[in-house]
Amino acid sequence: MNVQFKIWRGDANGGAFREYAAECTEGWVVLDAVLDIQRTQARDLACRWNCKAGKCGSCSAEVNGMPRLMCMTRLSELPLDKQVTVEPMKAFPIIKDLVTDVSWNFRIKKKIKQFKPRPPDAPDGTWRMQQEDIDRVQEFRKCIECFLCQDVCHVLRDHQMHERFIGPRFLIHVAALEMHPLDTENRIEELRNTQGIGYCNITKCCTKVCPESIQITDNGIIPLKERVVDDFYDPLGWFWRLLKKKADRKDVD
């Protein structure tokens, strides 16, 4: 079947949609068509991909305006009487064609305090955890870092607040660490301050686009927001932190 595509071609200096036609067969996903066009019509068409099975999160793009993994978007689920548009994610600077500069995400991750486990539970240096206590953390750790949630988040996409807000991907990363039964670190203060959790107003756009169906807002961000509130607007908590700060300062002296 002949399918018409409109693919954005260009770089940081600008670009435009170009039209291509591809002879598609049963079962094709958008990535099949893009790679076929690359092989036969546009050898220099830039796109990222790796696993082609929805496991690596490389081929994120916007298909008919929706943030999607190209490898998991079947052509049969799109209206093929119209052109299929494929364009790069909009929340990140363009490099070329469908490839965007996502390096900001890697810089953000580096700033999040790393996992710090409690001392081992057993003399052989191992820990004990019950499956029911890690189900939630495992849900968050399904994240494949496709950054589609970052792309769709209006705080990043429309308001470009990349310097003040870490976005849903990293709120989930923090949630996975904070809810890890072995972790002893506290990341609440930065969540409220430098990481800008308050900017999220729970529109749940991130949850809708997550290819791993992680309940980003309900299971991750909202519980984190509650922890922030408990910590910062609870007078006892406030008093305790004040004492702790004084004690810490003494340690430094």
Partner 1 sequence: MPDYETFEHDVLVIGAGGAGLRAAIEASAAGVRVGLVCKSLLGKAHTVMAEGGIAAALANVDERDNWKVHFADSMRGGQYVNQWRMAELHAKEAPDRVRELEAWGAVFDRTKDGKILQRHFGGHKYPRLAHVGDRTGLEMIRTLQDHGVHQGIDVHMEHTILSLLKNGDRVVGAFGYERERGRFKIFRAKAVVLATGGIGRAYKITSNSWEYTGDGHALAYEAGAELIDMEFIQFHPTGMVWPPSVMGILVTEGVRGEGGILTNKDGKRFMFESIPENYRAHTADDEEEGWRYCQGHKDARRPPELLTRDHVSRCIVREIKEGRGSPHGGVFLDISWIKQKLPNAAEHIKRKLPSMYHQFKQLADIDITEQPMEVGPTTHYIMGGVRVDPDTQMSRLAGLFAAGECAAGINGANRLGGNSLSDLLVFGKRAGEFAAKFAKEHQHGNVDNDKVDTVAREALAPFESSAGENPYMIQKDLQETMQDLVGIVRTETEMHEAMKKIASFKTRAEKTGITGNREYNPGWHTALDLKNLLTASEAITRAALERKESRGAQFREDYPDKDERFGNVNTIISKAADGSMEIRMEPLPEMPDYLKQVIDENR
Region of 46-54, 193-201, 202-210, 229-237 interacting with partner 1 (CB under 8 A): 46-54
Q: Which of 142, 159, 244, 245 binds partner 1 (CB under 8 A)?
A: 142
Q: Which of 21, 129, 202, 229 binds partner 1 (CB under 8 A)?
A: 129
User: 14-33 mask for partner 1 (x: CB under 8 A)?
Assistant: -----------xxxxx--x-
- Pairing of the two strands 84-87 and 2-11: parallel
70 vs 34: CA distance, rounded Å: 9
Q: Cβ closer to partner 1: 184 or 203?
A: 184
Q: Cβ closer to partner 1: 44 or 81?
A: 44
37 vs 135: CA distance, rounded Å: 42
Q: Cβ closer to partner 1: 23 or 230?
A: 23
249 contacts partner 1 (rule: CB under 8 A) = no
55 contacts partner 1 (rule: CB under 8 A) = yes
Per DSSP, the three-state class of 141 is coil
Q: Cβ closer to partner 1: 56 or 199?
A: 56
Do residues 203 and 209 make contact, with C-beta atoms less than 8 angstroms apart? no
137 contacts partner 1 (rule: CB under 8 A) = yes
Region of 79-87, 122-130, 201-209, 230-238 interacting with partner 1 (CB under 8 A): 122-130
| Identity of the residue numbered 213 | S
Q: Cβ closer to partner 1: 26 or 81?
A: 26
DSSP per-residue codes, 61-126: EEETTEEEEGGG-BGGGS-TTSPEEEE--SSS-EEETTEE--HHHHHHHHHSPPP-BPPPSSTTS-
Helix, strand, coil percent values for the chain (each to nearest 5): 40, 15, 40
- Pairing of the two strands 2-11 and 99-100: unpaired
User: 158-187 mask for partner 1 (x: CB under 8 A)?
Assistant: -------------------x--x--x----
230 vs 133: CA distance, rounded Å: 22
Q: Cβ closer to partner 1: 125 or 235?
A: 125
| Count of residues in contact with partner 1, rule CB under 8 A | 59
Find the Cα–Cα–Cα–Cα dihedral 81, 82, 83, 84, rounded to 10°. -90
2 contacts partner 1 (rule: CB under 8 A) = no
User: Which tokens go with 51?
Assistant: 């696993």
125: left (phi over 0), alpha (psi -120 to 50) or beta: left
Region of 45-53, 148-156, 162-170, 237-245 interacting with partner 1 (CB under 8 A): 45-53
Per DSSP, the three-state class of 243 is helix
171 vs 191: CA distance, rounded Å: 8
**List of residues contacting partner 1 (CB under 8 A):** 11, 25-29, 32, 38-40, 42-58, 72, 74, 95-97, 99, 102-103, 106, 109-110, 114-115, 117, 120, 125-131, 134, 137-138, 141-142, 144-145, 177, 180, 183
